[in-house]
Amino acid sequence: MNDDQLLRYSRQIMLSEWDVTCQEKALSSRVLVIGLGGLGCPASLYLAASGVGRLVLNDHDKVELSNLQRQICHGNNDIEQYKVDSARESILNINPSLDVQVIPHQLSEASLRQQVVEADVVLDGTDNFASRRLINRLCVETKTPLVSGAAIQMAGQVFIYNPCHDESPSPCYSCLFGELEDENLSCSENGIMAPVVGIIGSIMALETLKLLTEFYSALSAQLLILDARTLDWRKVAVRPDPQCAICAPSINQ
């Protein structure tokens, strides 16, 4: 690191849990962020501010007026622009030394797999079960750590797939939710309180940083749930499902 980087990241380098070695790992890491909406925006901004050296942003949507209530990478001048372009501009305004790549179209499974393989961690900020299941499957097949989040109305959750966790196999997203369908569970139909996605997205960024530096994560094999109405937090233990169609073959090998 140069002197400017040491100064920029000094407030986290002084932490006992995060030293120069951790910072250098972050700077040399590559994170794939899928979905630059309510979760992907705060997560990507905090990853950028924290010094993750390479960010790959994937989202085929364009900015709409209704997004601006919660998707903090975007502003009025970005309406009708691709979200990844708006997010890249916001990220580089915070930390111009980063390598930020944008993919403004929906990837084929083969192309998405290649992006997953090249990533050190995948951050899933998508808003539907079909996308989450596909991303989860590709991460399991390639043994790539995954941070997955969701938020709706006044609730949010974070789940981590960590194939490198200790000696025990990590449960995957499908162990938890199986073939659950969306059933109209969208923000456009049910609403979302803006700060909820900020809270969940920030936790997703924090857990991503922990995975990049092999720092202990309290969320391994657990689902973190927030009830924002009461500010109650719960952790639900999740065990690998021996019948899981996605990760059971790797568990039983």
What pLDDT sits at residue 250?
58
The dihedrals phi and psi of 123, each to the nearest 5 degrees, come to: -110, 115
Distance, CA of 240 to CA of 224 (rounded, Å): 16
Domain ranges of the chain: 3-251
What pLDDT sits at residue 252?
47
What pLDDT sits at residue 183?
57
Distance, CA of 165 to CA of 3 (rounded, Å): 34
What pLDDT sits at residue 121?
98
What pLDDT sits at residue 199?
98
Distance, CA of 151 to CA of 84 (rounded, Å): 20
In the chain, DSSP finds a helix count (H) and a strand count (E) of: 11, 8
What pLDDT sits at residue 155?
97
What pLDDT sits at residue 200?
99
Q: What's the topology of domain 3-251? A: Rossmann fold (3.40.50)
What pLDDT sits at residue 122?
99
Task: Give the gyration radius of the chain's Cα atoms.
Answer: 17
Task: List, in order, residues 6 or more apart from 232 with CB less than 8 Å away.
Answer: 226
Q: Using a cut of 0.85, tell me whether the model's pTM lies above it.
A: yes
What pLDDT sits at residue 186?
61
Distance, CA of 87 to CA of 78 (rounded, Å): 10
Over the chain (253 residues), the average pLDDT of each successive run of 10 is: 96 95 98 98 99 99 98 98 99 98 98 98 95 96 96 96 77 85 62 97 98 83 96 95 86 49
